[in-house]
Amino acid sequence: MAAMIEAKGLTRCFGGLRAVDGVDFTLESGEIHGLIGPNGAGKTTFVSLLSGRVPVQSGTIRLQGEDITQLPAHQRVRKGVAYTFQITSVYPRLSVFDNVALASQSHSAGNVAEGVAEALAKVGLTGLEQAIAGTLSYGHQRLLEVAMGLALKPLVLILDEPTQGLASGEIDGFKTLIRSLVPNTTILLIEHNMDVVMDLAHRITVLNFGQVLAIGTPTQIRQNRAVQEAYLGGDDAAG
């Protein structure tokens, strides 16, 4: 069976900077995969390549065996790759319902109201359908963003720093939510909160200077001396 996502030799340069430098990466179906690394390691650029927000300069990306390297972002969404951004990307003047409905309509000709209700129920926002998105707490806006991603019925949900700004109680709820999504949805989690990554991820990929430093289980990553020196033992960093 083909991996959910398989990337080979991905490279992306900005001027003289090799932000992503020959990265090989496999995302197995139904897993929660953590992506970590120091500030400037290339994490956000890498997931932007996977989602189609930034074009690949060399290398290939396959989704369940299908080559999607040249597909633009909106076509990858239709294929099942949803990416929620590092900063909340809700429409602040629209209602919670309308935010999720826009995502649902873009993906399916089915019953939009049912799709919205299902997505909001999964993230615990049932009852807030008519609230204006911009008036929600920061934590609720992050959950709304996840609901918008889920309304796309994705095969893969890429979450970029989803717990940034959340209170500890909200983080516990977020972890419960993510666990409830697998194995039906495969999760790629870019996260600077090591407790969250180590608690949730089945496997972790560590990037450093645009290259893969290590891949392994949370236990293997914790014990990896190169990772300790480059990241875990150093300054806490995101990006």
For residues 36 and 239, give the distance between their C-alpha atoms in angstroms, rounded to a whole number.
9
Q: What is the pLDDT of residues 154-169, one digit of tens each?
A: 999 999 888 887 888 8
Q: What is the pLDDT of residues 71-88, one digit of tens each?
A: 998 899 889 998 886 555
Position 88 scores a pLDDT of: 55
pTM of the model: 0.88
| Residue 53 belongs to a domain | yes
Centroid of chain to Cα 197: 12
Contact 192, 23 (CB under 8 A): no
| Residue 156 belongs to a domain | no
Domains: count for the chain? 1
CATH number at residue 219: 3.40.50.300
Residue 50 class from Cβ within 10 Å (0-12 exposed, 13-18 middle, 19+ buried)?
buried
| Residue 32 belongs to a domain | yes
For residues 159 and 201, give the distance between their C-alpha atoms in angstroms, rounded to a whole number.
13
- Domain region containing 47: 1-74+189-239
| Residue 9 belongs to a domain | yes
| Residue 162 belongs to a domain | no
Q: Which residue in 172, 122, 183, 129 sits closest to 147, CA to CA?
A: 122
- Residue count (the chain): 239
CA atoms within 13 A on the CB side of 189: 32
